[in-house]
Structure 1
């Protein structure tokens, strides 16, 4: 057993490479993209440290080129879910007993592998499998993933240092135990870093995990699993399965050792999971931890003093980077009439300059949406807006799935503030703008605050400090991540811990100590150095 108070390496955000023409990193990623496109992979599940293959194969194709086959993954059934749970429970005792500094070392190694020898591979997998351009892949799959590992270790140490006071003759201390049972990680397609962090954060604290990645992000999840294995995550600690949602839920949420879920996905799915857990609560050994980040209807609000060009850039970047498929992407904007013409002209110029296509062409700012279902949903909303008397498609609106699932960046101007695309989460490159009368700013703030069930991210633009302070207070429950004179996307681990409330989740702030605390059960221990030998107290003595 190690002896000492260990100081972990200082956590720093991984620098983002530029991939500028002529740079070494640009040449390296292009080479890796070509290599990975030249082969078809057969991706197994990983259960108890073993690769598991099945007779049922599912294709993996780039969203921007659905004629190309990247590979296949091996589709499992409920028997594989059960095996994964058994493997997690079998690995639990030894993993939980491992000294924390060794768990820390494993995930610090994960960070260095991602930032170093695996950087090109994880970026290329994200570009090909999830249709991200190189910059969006770099800030997500390489940098944010490394940040989650490094800052996760930092926050773990900070948490362990949270100890109580002790009075004379007594020593009090907190013992941060992993949860009793297994944790289920259900991860999304849109961020490779989230897909890696959701199983890693509980595992870092001594839990063992059953991980079900999104089927549209299995290509990059496979690379993450390679990193976990090379870094030394023991067999059974993180088990990766590819199974249907309903079948998986039936096994996981019926199991008495289910101890918690780490989730990012839709609000509807999360609410269904919460309902199922509630119905099964009597079956569990302990009350499960329910941690989720869900939907958003993220906003930009400008007042009449806002800088129009700053608003333009926030709208273009905030709404259309990664095709609007960020949980934080700007989806609705409230612009005063006095600056709307200038903002509209500026956004129009931006959109006219934006190129859309394959992420291998680095001049493309916008790529494809994730799959056919997303394409159909978005094109349906755009089609309805074109016909509606309450809306006008002012820019974009072209949808083409002949080669890939391409939705042109689209601006809808809503004539009424409760038009459906001002309310519903679309999760694509569609931004709806409501133009308000300058003198109705307060009324419009009230509309903004009550229009949507979500409260994930939001941005305000103003040059008036009185207005800024008023809006910050007025909208205090409207967004878990709030931005002043900046776009509502781009939260950095360790700088802006991410998460929202209302219909957007439990606001447990991924990558922070607030999230880490959800994956432990605190035992407070009191040791009395000189034990009392008499039940009597002084007040009982005779006069």
Structure 2
């Protein structure tokens, strides 16, 4: 039992290391990268105390060097998924009863392990299998996951402190119970931090989790499990299974004890999951919580008063960092006619200053590979289409090559059609499309931005005119869950910009905030009366 109201360590954002020439972190991460590149990792299923190796394996290859094998991962059969579920339910008995400060200590220790001895393992694994350059790996696989763990502990303590008022003679209190049953976490390839946070945030609140990481992120997922185990997370609290996503999902969603899903991925998959949960609703003991962050078609709109250098930088960084494989990446841009030529000239200069896409081991590479051949082929198809369409042209880039790695050149498409296919379709790669509007059509263009996309994740307005900023903020209220003024639409920081969107971009439950953690508890109100009535008659009865 708790013996005090405990104050957790104040959460602060983890400082980002520079990896500049001559720094110790630069040498450490390169050494770890080489060790991984020359090694062979073997990733098992993690079910309870067991590391299960099924023998049915798939190769792990770097996207930037896809003929080179750096390991393998084992895939689950249905019996293993059922075993993971049963292990969760058995582990829940002790985990849900553990006092909150003990749970907090585990995840705070995990944060310190990542900040220290595991930092370069996390970064190098993310560079290897997700093809992030070292800076993108540092802000994701180290800093953001550390921030999630530290800030979520602080938010958890704040939630538990939120209590109702009590009247004379009674005491009201709320218990924030974990959900009855187990949680299913499905995580994406593009952010190691999200892969760690989705199962960890639910587990922190006392839940047990079956976690299915992306096949393209299994290497760094193993490092996350290594961290959790060393931090003291009890066996069975988070069970990790890999393999056929349809079989795994069908097995989990067919179980009566399924109580919630924590998802980041495609809009289409999430909608299908929602339908499947609805179809199975009679099976479940409780209404499952459905939490998802999905796609985006994120915008930048520049006002004529915006500084051209700032707009160009917002486009270059917002569209091309991590090869545009962020759900928040800028992928459609609206420029005023009066400054568009100058802005595009600066963007072209930026892009032409990049090295050709290459390995993240070479720190001079700003751009590396897209995640796999399917992504490469899709992007190459849209680029080829833009080369032939009458209402589109390639301003810069447009090249691609998959002979060694899945390399797509950063590409800017200019279109005369505001509804051109790449203005509306989520591409998830280093391709951005620009539409030029007449300066006098600023207000109409704001409506165009709002009505063009089914998504509502991130967006940015750049302007010096405060009236224009105010107008844009109001007009674009519903088309971005994270809205940026005079900045790129990417780079949300835990504790500063809680992240999530609406419309087809998800349930907007704001990862990196107490709002998300509240989805993983089921409050129980307890009213205790000290002097209990012994007669039913109220005074009005006489």
Q: Map of 1:410-449 to 2, 5 A cutoff? A: 410-449=411-450
1:482 aligns with 2:512: no
Q: Distance in 1 between matches of 2:417 and 2:34?
A: 48
CA distance in structure 2 between the partners assigned to 1:93 and 1:87 by the alignment? 11
Alignment of 1:38-187 (within 5 A): 38-187=38-187
CA deviations over 1:59-114 (Å, ceiling 9, x no partner):
00000001111100011121111111011011001000000000000000010001
Assess if the C-alpha contact under 8 Å between 2:392 and 2:413 holds in 1: yes
1:404 aligns with 2:405: yes
Instruction: Note the alpha carbon deviations across 1:139-158, whole angstroms, 9 max, x for none.
Output: 00000000000001011011
Distance 2:372 2:78 in 1: 25
Query: Which segments of structure 1 move beyond 4 Å, counting only runs of 4 or more?
Result: none
- For residues 289-344 of structure 1, give each alpha carbon's deviation from its aligned partner in whole angstroms, at most 9, with x where no partner exists: 00000000000000110111000000000000000000100000000000001101
Which moves more between the two structures, 441-450 or 188-197?
A: 441-450
Give the 5 Å matches for 1:318-329.
318-329=318-329
In the other structure, the counterpart of 1:342 is 342
SS in 2 for 1:87: helix
Alignment partners' CA distance in 2, 1:352 and 1:372: 25
Separation in 1 of the partners of 2:475 and 2:345?
Answer: 30
Q: Which residue of 2 aligns with 1:491?
A: 492
Q: Give the aligned partner of residue 453 of structure 1.
A: 454
Partner of 1:530: 531
User: How big is each residue's C-alpha offset from its partner over 1:117-143, in whole Å with a ceiling of 9 and x where there is no partner?
Assistant: 000000000000100000000000000
Matches within 5 A, 1:218-367: 218-355=218-355, 356-367=357-368
Equivalent positions of 1:503-542 (< 5 A) are 503-541=504-542
In structure 2, C-alpha distance between the alignment counterparts of 1:237 and 1:65, rounded to whole Å? 35
Q: What is the TM-score of this pair, normalised by structure 2? A: 0.99
Distance 1:43 1:249 in 2: 20
| RMSD, matched Cα | 0.6
What's the CA shift for 1:46?
0.3
Equivalent in the alignment of 2:209: 209
User: Partner of 1:389: helix, strand, or coil?
Assistant: coil
Indicate yes or no: 2:191 matched with 1:198: no
User: CA contact under 8 A between 1:459 and 1:486: conserved in structure 2?
Assistant: yes
Q: Is the 8 A contact 1:455 1:478 kept in 2?
A: yes
- Structure 2 counterpart of 1:395: 396
* Alignment partners' CA distance in 2, 1:324 and 1:243: 26
1:502-537 Cα offsets, whole Å, 9 max, x none, are 000000000211000000000001000111111111
For 1:224 and 1:278, how far apart are their aligned partners in 2?
32
Contact 1:49 1:239 in 2 (8 A): no
After TM superposition, give the deviation of residue 445 of structure 1 in Å: 0.9
Q: Where do 5+ consecutive residues of structure 1 fail to align? A: none
> Contact 2:74 / 2:243 at 8 angstroms: preserved in 1?
no
**8 Å contact from structure 1 (residues 393, 410) kept in 2:** yes
* SS of the residue 1:295 aligns to: coil
2:77 & 2:447 partners in 1: Cα distance?
Answer: 48
Asked if the contact 2:156/2:205 (under 8 Å) is kept, the reply is: yes
* Alpha-carbon distance, 1:8 to partner: 0.5
Distance across 1 between alignment mates of 2:138 and 2:39? 23
| Deviation for aligned residue 1:49 | 2.3
Offset of residue 416 of structure 1 = 0.5
Contact 2:371 2:406 in 1 (8 A): yes
Whole-Å separation in 2 of the counterparts to 1:458 and 1:2: 45
Aligned length: 541
8 A Cα contact 1:78 1:243, kept in partner: no
The residue matched to 1:530 in structure 2 has which SS? coil
Matched-pair contact (CA < 8 Å) for 1:397–1:410: yes
CA distance in 1, matches of 2:3, 2:491: 40
Secondary structure (helix, strand or coil) at the match of 1:97 reads: coil
Matched residues in 2 for 1:388 and 1:58: separation?
A: 40
Which residue does the alignment assign to 1:380? 381
Distance 1:106 1:3 in 2: 18
Partner Cα separation in structure 1 for residue 520 and residue 262 of structure 2? 9
Contact 1:156 1:513 in 2 (8 A): yes
Distance in 1 of aligned mates of 2:223 and 2:292: 24
